[in-house]
Structure 1
Amino acid sequence: MTEHLMEQPQTEVSAIQPHFSGAILGLQGDVLHGWAMDNTQEEHRPVVEVLIDGASVALIRADQYEPSVPAGDRFHGFAVQLRQRWLDEARLITARIANQSFVLGGQLLLPTVPPVSSGESASVASQVWHTGGLRVGGWCWDPKAPNRHVDITVREGDRIVAQTTCNEHHQALVYRATSDHGFGIDLPWELADGKLHVLEIVNDLGQALAGSPIRLCCLPEGIEGLLRQLSSAHNGAALALMTEVAKEQSLRLPKSAGWQHYPHWFEAFQGLDEQQPPQLQGKLGVLMLSDGNTLHEKISLNSLGVRHVSAHPVSIAGPSNVLPALAELLEAGCDRVLPITAGDRLAPSALPHLSALLDDGSVWAYADCDRDGPQGERSLPWLKPVWDIDLFIGADIFTPGAIYSANIIRNALSLLMSYKNNAEVNVNDLTAGIALATQQARARVAHLPRVLYHRSVQRPASPEQTQPCPQRLQAMKWLCKNLAPGATVSQLVDYPALFRAHWPLPPELPRVSLIVPTRDNYKLLHACVEGLLNETDYPNLEIIVVDNQSSDRLTLDYLSELSKRGVKVVRHPYPFNYSTINNRAASYATGELIGLVNNDIEIIEPNWLNEMVAQVLRPDVGAVGAKLLWPNMMVQHGGVVVGVNGLAAHTGNSLEQRDSGYLGTNQITRRQSAVTAACLLLRKSVFDSVGGLNERAYPVAFNDVDLCLKIQQQGLHVLWCASAKLIHAESASRGKDLSPEKQARATREQNHFRSTWSSPEKSDPYYHPNLSIDYLSGPYGGLAFPPREAATRYSN
């Protein structure tokens, strides 16, 4: 799309309304640029409301750098992407200061005549963000060459700091045909020196990106670390209080560092206190898993330390049969066993730290791991969640860095004997047996979120990159059959090293009541309900559509038609409250299972509901969420991480549906702290037992996360189902929160959520405390900088 012409922008303060000034500067493609400022308070960054043909479509804060601003510090610019469907029939674009009468100059009349060609390219649409730390992100798109991937450069003065190509998927571009024009830049570690650095970000045409320059000033340990040092030196109560305040600020404004900084990050934050390691309890044995390579065995033995090698039995086993070596260790009186693969190494003092994890009643435990780089440097960390048997079935990320009590090993071998019939027991059989024994006993598993195990440089970078293992596939089939008779396991087509469990459905399928709230938006509603009726292959289905003050004639006629087709239509002529709407509809439901479904859901695979029902009927499962995709097949929802900026955020928003994701998790059904109510399935009895959705505290947002967290308090698990895939155009029907009342409501919801579920002391058990909780990077987008508290965590 060409750059649009516009009326002459307003560059001087209006004589009639001198309080504000501002202008629309242009529309590059579908991105509107401009500036706005409060002339009486230049440090204030006003919010701009964008209108198309008089209808409000977007809000954006004017806080980005814009060189054409005539006064102040020039951080009064804005850039906002407008959906193409809004522009297709648009005639006039205007903007004003939100909740004020002041209209920005430079309104756009559409369609416009392209500018006379001068041989120069139109401005490249862009945006850059920085929220602190060493991570910069954004997107850049050339409207004259939509498929071109723009190169960008970060400069400090004349020095080039970093360069990259904009070829990553970015959530801000999900409504475009192609979304792979985003970027993430990891700034050099040496910039975290506590000094101010002004960095300019420009594209390959020499144009500064919207939001450039950025001002960077940070230290690796963060402000709270600095205050802790001062507090320790002066022993002052005031400094201790300031430290707590700093933690609270870090919760709301967290910082991150990119994955490429892991070697520096490891040296700064992962060292163990070798002067005071935990006192070893009991008798520890080491199980060396070796294919006979004596050089690799020596590397692993050396990492144990001379003192520990001489003090603790080491038994070597081939990976195809671990029974003789295990029997040797158990007969020697070992009450705990630490497996290590020949060529892998333990971090200094790791052995006593791992052993200490079993001294509090845990049946087994594990720490995090990484991989040796070609030069021995640290690389590719596997930062793990608490124990999750569903994730384990998909990919074993837990074994490297694990330690097992003798009791759980004996229990596992006892379970395996009937299966193996005294035949050889390979290492995959052993870990499957331990998983089953843990599940049956509801035993506790400990996780120390610290990197104590270093995998060999020859080991795969990530689970999905390993060679498919027939022995592990057979072991997982045995495990799943013992968890649920009739269960089967298959390899993923795109990632054959990853597995998917198929849980059995009962002969008589339970009724599922699907609740679909709506207000107008006939096209969305029609696509959703017809998909439920005609494209979903689940036979015992009840659909309840809740009409929340629809006035559009097409919608009203369609609702009348649905009533005649057996769909329940419940009228709700009251102000919008998502929680109230769904709670009321649930009282009409006759199904054993309830499904919350947004009216902007589209069915793309007929078996989606069968997949979710099979999961939710399993013991200890309280709720199941689907894998939701944008129309361009980017991931909109891959589970929820609690704690991002003190709130909660969707996982996977920078991924395409077929991408593996961090440690393969974009393809693996696994436990999560929460899933979205855009498509959520649970038993009606569970919904009722937790009081449904919280109507008072969360009328619009966070009600689904709150629901899931309450369900977990009852000892039930929440699952994200990777095999149930649907399209979701998020908030397409409800729109933006524009009015002061709605913004105040959103603030109340956020504050209530923070005070109830999010604090510096709390950590999402299914998300590692050393992973970033920045909105900028998103879940799994980088490393926490500085890391959060890393106390031992336990399975539920």
Structure 2
Amino acid sequence: MTTPMPPQLGDSAINAKGHTLRGAITRVSGPVIEGWVYDEATPEQRFVIALYHLGEPVALAYSNHFHDHAPGDGLYGFHIVLDDAQRDMAGTLTLAPANAPNVALDQTHLPALSQAHESESGRVEWQPGLVLRGQLVEPSAPQKPLQVRVMYQGRQIAEATPQHWLDYHDQRVQGAFVLNLPLWLADGQRHRLYVLDDQGRELDGSPVTVQEWPNGLVDWVLTLAPQLPDHTKTLLKQQLSRYERWLPRAAGMGQYPQWHEAFYSKPAMKGAHALPALQRGKQDSALGILWLDNAPSTLPKMPGVTLVHRVVDHATQQDPDRYRAVVEELAGQCEIITQLHGDDTLDTAAAQLAWQAMKAQYEAQILYTDFDIPAEQADQPRQPALLPAWDPERQWAQDLLGGGLCLVRSSLLKDAEHPATHPEDFSHAAIEALHHAGHPESSVLHLPRIARHRATPWPTASEAQAQRLQARLERTAPNATLRVNPQYPTLYRVSRTLDTWPDITLIVPTRDALALLKRCIETIAEHTDYPGNVTLMVVNNHSRQPDTLAYFETLRTQAPQPLGRGKLHTRVLDYPHPFNYAAINNAAVEQCESELIALVNNDIEALHPEWLCAMAAHLMRDGVGAVGAKLLWPNGMVQHGGVIGGQYGGLAGHVGNHWHAEDAGYLGMNHVTQRFSMVTAACLLMRKADYHAVGGLSARDFAVNFNDVDLCLKLRRRGLSILWTPEARLIHAESATRGKDEAPEKAARAQREMAKLRERWSNALLHDPAYNPNLALDVYTPPFTGLALPPRELSHTAGETSTEHELGRIARSNQLPV
């Protein structure tokens, strides 16, 4: 079906007095039609306008309403609601002055009621960025799959299939969609888009007017005001940057080639983002490159850097002594060395930046970059691998350093007690040497630039490499075992155990909700094998139901029972004060006698025996402050896969809500123990001593929400890391007891807590080391599914001009900004 498209907005006509009129129909949504009419010669005049159908007037309106897109002061808009008889007329509607039907200002196509979706069955929404969000359901057959199409000037420019779940008339259907628009729409111009289903029916909210700028509002506004004084430009830049911080924009992952070309390849697009050259003398040493299998047909060149190339053939790679000798020879000739595959392509601009960062940061010993890989299907664009800041835990599961460009100071490799004996072991040998030499974690830097275009995907795991990694792991963690992940053979899995298992108290607050509480306690008793003492402390906050109170008496008198290889003890603590989640847990911790405490919601269900052992074994390592679990909705979707800062307007949000428990997730992260800045307190394990050291949960500032975010960031400020592990899997029916914050008093409290979180931690949340600054933060794009528009590292802070300062800012270590 071909959808008639309206003429360009703002068509002109001459009225009876000879004045030039402009007008536009800007929105048709169901029976609502909106637009504006303006005479630039007589801006004080407001017009009575008419909509004509087949030459006959259909409706009249006075153009004196405020309209966002109207010229002048905006008070030239009109708003018309058609009645059923008028709305049932399919065809073209013409906008004209009421007394001049032949003066056509604009037109739009009005489909019949049967050719348009009502809001409930099909609607589309847009916020700044190149992402549309909405829902589309066939009213007569809600389970029927539909397609969403976006039309522009008579041609289709994007499509999507609704794949996210929603409730439609008491049915759970895959009717929600997130649709990514092409990057070329971000040209600073207005584009009117029609959003239809695959039968040509228009969605409510269509047409959508999109206007985006390639480098954001800052660059656009400054180009409009070149004559402004420098101090005014600086102030304007700061204000606009702050605005864009709270309203970030996104492009889809499918737009990666165009996105990379726009922001990192074209000099004209980089403009002020280009870095000044380092002083001569700081970049005159050599960079050695080990080329695996073969060298590229054209060797890369980097201005001001001497490149020394060595080819490592297949036979040398398989001979540990020969491979080690080549590495040592090159390390003796060059200050920094790296390793690439001969079929890969090196992005020399990003490589130059990586070299400069290593030279500017004298304490840096290792630097790694992002990369991209071919798509699984040949006709699909390449996919970016946008990595977190340095994460030694995740390095065991997948070689973060070796995926992209990894620069290593030769001194590390020359002095290595256990050098690399195989190409797959190159970065792991460098890390072990780093620790042996006593360098801190901050000496490993991550540069969020794609410097390597891989010819093949990230290398898969192998049994031979697993044995090499196991030998390295045993030297620092003798109670750990590394194996190829049986479910995901591209990954490794590290299992840890303890010689002595500490006592743990599970703190479970509740107010009645007996069915949930019993399910929680029964599944923990049934599906937990912990070789130590576990106390389950139920905290009663104003329960009143007789059945609940009777159950509490049963728990109080219950004798210890087996918990796999250990013992389960039960306690009931009364908290007869107003509900304050933070205060409830703080009071409970004061009554705990165990070394470890776990904050556990009453809507948690244990799923497998190893969950508590896995969390405890991770926690009892030096430098770990808290461990969170992989939580699932009852339907098997991920409810908590870690927490990312910056989500929802600079706050924080869960990872993985659009993944199934068995999905790989972005770069396999759904099955990798890794660092996050935060995890949820719905199931969180930590030392009681650390809980006290940071003041516990903040009962004054975060009585209900974000107290876990605040807690984790306080732990990180003390130098402790936060781990999330998929080795502990539990069900969590979020807010099943307390409900959502929809009542006025709850909403007001939630707003206060959001404001306090931004006030206290905004810098840390917006610069989360676990989340690459090239990834999107807008509210419509789930974490790890979109690209930041523009990348956050390109939003410079005014006044930062020195190369060393700039490189230090861009090369990110795992430090917590405060």
Tell me which interval the TM-score lies in, with the shorter structure as reference length.
Answer: 0.7 to 0.9
CA pair 70-367 structure 1, distance change in 2 beyond 3 A:
farther
Amino acid at match of 1:367: T
Q: Which runs of 5+ in 2 are unaligned?
A: 1-30, 33-64, 69-78, 88-113, 559-568, 795-809
Q: 597, 601, 604: which is aligned to 1:601? A: 604
Q: Secondary structure at the residue paired with 2:576?
A: coil
Question: What is the aligned counterpart of 1:705 among 709, 714, 730?
Answer: 709
- Asked if 2 retains the 8 angstrom alpha-carbon contact of 1:624 and 1:675, the reply is yes
Cα offset, 1:657, TM superposition: 1.0
CA offsets 1:311-340 (integer angstroms, 9 cap, x no match) = 3322222433431221221333x2211222
* Residues 301, 307 of structure 2: 8 Å contact kept: no
- Structure 2 residue 487 is the aligned partner of structure 1 residue 483: no
How do 1:443-592 residues align onto structure 2 when only pairs under 5 Å count? 443=441, 444-456=443-455, 459-460=456-457, 463=458, 466-506=459-499, 508-538=500-530, 539-565=532-558, 566-592=569-595
Task: Tell me the residue number matched to 1:397.
Answer: 400
Instruction: Give the Cα–Cα distance (whole angstroms) in 2 for the partners of residues 544 and 517 of structure 1.
Output: 8
CA contact (8 A) 2:346 2:452 kept: yes
Counterparts of 2:765 and 2:661, CA distance in 1:
33
* CA distance in 1 between partners of 2:407 and 2:453 (Å): 15
Partner of 2:299, secondary structure, is helix
Cα separation, 1, equivalents of 2:129 and 2:119: 29
Q: Is the 8 A contact 1:282 1:335 kept in 2?
A: no
- Cα-to-partner distance string for 1:619-642 (whole Å, 9 max, x where unaligned): 111100001111111111111111
In the aligned structure 1, how far is the partner of 2:407 from the partner of 2:706?
A: 38
Q: CA deviation at 1:175?
A: 13
> Partners in 2 of 1:304 and 1:688 — Cα distance?
55
Question: Residues 573 and 199 from structure 1, CA distance in 2 versus in 1: closer, same or farther, beyond 3 angstroms?
Answer: farther
| TM-score normalised according to structure 1 size | 0.78
Specify the alignment match of 2:773 in structure 1: 769
The 5 A counterparts of 1:300-319 are: 301-304=298-301, 311-318=306-313, 319=317
Question: Contact 2:394 / 2:672 at 8 angstroms: preserved in 1?
Answer: yes
SS of structure 1 residue aligned to 2:389: coil
Residue 85 of structure 1 corresponds to which residue in structure 2? none
Counterpart check, 1:137 vs 2:133: yes
Change beyond 3 A, Cα 1:348–1:428: closer
Q: Residues 649 and 778 of structure 1 are in contact (CA less than 8 Å); yes or no, is this contact kept in structure 2?
A: no
2:210 matches 1:216:
yes
Residues 76-123 of structure 1: CA deviation (Å, up to 9, x unaligned): xxxxxxxxxxxxxxxxxxxxxxxxxxxxxxxxxxxxxxxxxx9x9999
2:353 is aligned to 353
Alignment of 1:619-768 (within 5 A): 619-644=622-647, 645-759=649-763, 762-768=766-772
CA distance in 1, matches of 2:548, 2:290: 67
For 2:422, the equivalent position in structure 1 comes to 426
Q: What's 1:329 paired with?
A: 330
Instruction: Supply the distance in 2 between the matched residues of 1:227 and 1:617 (Cα, whole angstroms).
Output: 52
Deviation at residue 437 of structure 1 after TM alignment: 2.7
Aligned partner (choices 768, 783, 787) of residue 787 of structure 2: 783
Report if the CA contact (8 A) 1:277-1:352 is conserved: no
Cα distance in 1 for partners of 2:169, 2:640 equals: 15
Distance 2:579 2:380 in 1: 55
Residue deviations 1:541-568 (CA, integer Å, cap 9, x gap): 1111111112223322222222222521
The verdict on how the C-alpha distance between 1:122 and 1:564 changes in structure 2, with shifts beyond 3 A counting, is farther
Report deviation, 1:235.
Answer: 3.1
- Spell out, residue by residue over 1:223-275, the C-alpha distance to the aligned partner (whole angstroms, 9 max, x if none): 12223445665334334223222222222211100011111111221137889
Instruction: For residue 404 of structure 1, give the secondary structure of its aligned residue in structure 2.
Output: strand
SS of the residue 1:793 aligns to: coil
- CA shift, 1:671, in A, is 0.4
Distance 2:409 2:685 in 1: 37
Deviations 1:62-84 (A, max 9, x none): xxxx997979xx9xxxxxxxxxx
How far apart are the structure 2 equivalents of 1:234 and 1:786?
A: 24
Give the counterpart letter for 2:644 in structure 1: V
Structure 1 residues 258 and 237 mapped into 2: Cα distance closer, same or farther (>3 Å)? same
- Cα deviations across residues 601-628 of structure 1 (Å, max 9, x unaligned)? 1111121111111111111111000011
1:249 is matched with 243
8 A Cα contact 2:386 2:772, kept in partner? yes
Alignment size in residue pairs: 667
CA offsets per residue over residues 413-436 of structure 1, 9 Å max, x none? 3134xxxxxxx8102233222222
Distance 1:176 1:409 in 2: 63
Letter of the structure 2 residue corresponding to residue 298 of structure 1: P
Contact map agreement 2:627 2:724 (CA 8 A) in 1: yes
Equivalents in 2 of 1:702, 1:556: separation in Å? 30
CA contact (8 A) 1:372 1:455 kept: yes
In the alignment, the residues of structure 2 paired with residue 646 and residue 484 of structure 1 have an alpha-carbon distance, to the nearest angstrom, of 37
Contact 2:388–2:769 under 8 Å retained in 1 = yes
SS at match of 1:357: helix
**CA 1:439 to 1:556, structure 2 compared with 1: closer, same or farther past 3 Å?**
farther
- Do the aligned partners of 2:462 and 2:484 also contact (CA within 8 Å) in 1? no
- Which residue of structure 2 aligns with residue 794 of structure 1? 813
Whether the 8 Å CA contact 1:625–1:680 is kept in 2: the answer is: yes
Cα distance change of structure 1 residues 445 and 544 upon mapping to structure 2, 3 Å threshold: same
Asked if the contact 1:277/1:349 (under 8 Å) is kept, the reply is no
Provide the TM-score with structure 2 as the length reference.
0.76
Distance 1:203 1:553, change over 3 A: farther
Contact 2:132–2:178, Cα closer than 8 Å, also in 1: yes
Q: Does 1:415 align with 2:418?
A: yes
Separation in 2, partners of 1:659, 1:574: 43
- Relative distance call for 1:392 and 1:69 in structure 2 (3 A) is farther
CA drift at 1:284: 2.3
Instruction: Say which one has the larger Rg.
Output: 2
Deviates more, 1:496-505 or 1:556-565: 556-565
Give 1:760 deviation, angstroms. Answer: 9.6
Structure 1 residue 150 displacement after superposition: 1.8
- The residue type equivalent to 2:724 in the other structure is W
SS of 1:594's equivalent in the other structure is strand
Instruction: Answer whether contact 2:283 2:304 (CA < 8 A) is retained.
Output: no
Equivalent-residue separation in structure 2 for 1:492 and 1:642 (angstroms): 29
Instruction: Using the aligned pairs only, state the percent identity.
Output: 35
Matching of residues 58-137 of structure 1 within 5 Å? 125-137=121-133
SS of the residue aligned with 1:269?
A: helix
1:138-153 alignment runs, 5 A limit:
138-142=134-138, 144-153=140-149
Alpha-carbon distance between aligned partners in 2 of 1:70 and 1:688, rounded to the nearest angstrom: 65
Moved more, 189-198 or 174-183: 174-183
| Structure 1 residue aligned with 2:565 | none
Asked if 1 retains the 8 angstrom alpha-carbon contact of 2:292 and 2:339, the reply is no
Give secondary structure in 2 for the equivalent of 1:751.
Answer: helix
Letter in 2 for 1:281: Q
Whether the aligned pair in 2 keeps the contact of 1:121 and 1:144 (CA below 8 Å) is no
Of 276, 283, 286, which residue of structure 1 is paired with 2:285? 283
Distance (whole Å) between structure 1 residues aligned to residue 600 and residue 66 of structure 2: 45
Counterpart-to-counterpart distance in 1, 2:204 and 2:640: 28
Give the Cα separation in 2 of the matches to 1:128 and 1:551.
45
Deviation string, structure 1 residues 670-702 (Cα, Å, up to 9, x no partner)? 000100001111111111110001111111111
Cα 1:787–1:305 shift into 2, 3 Å: closer
Give the whole-Å Cα distance in 2 for the aligned partners of 1:336 and 1:631: 51
3-state SS of 2:692 partner: helix
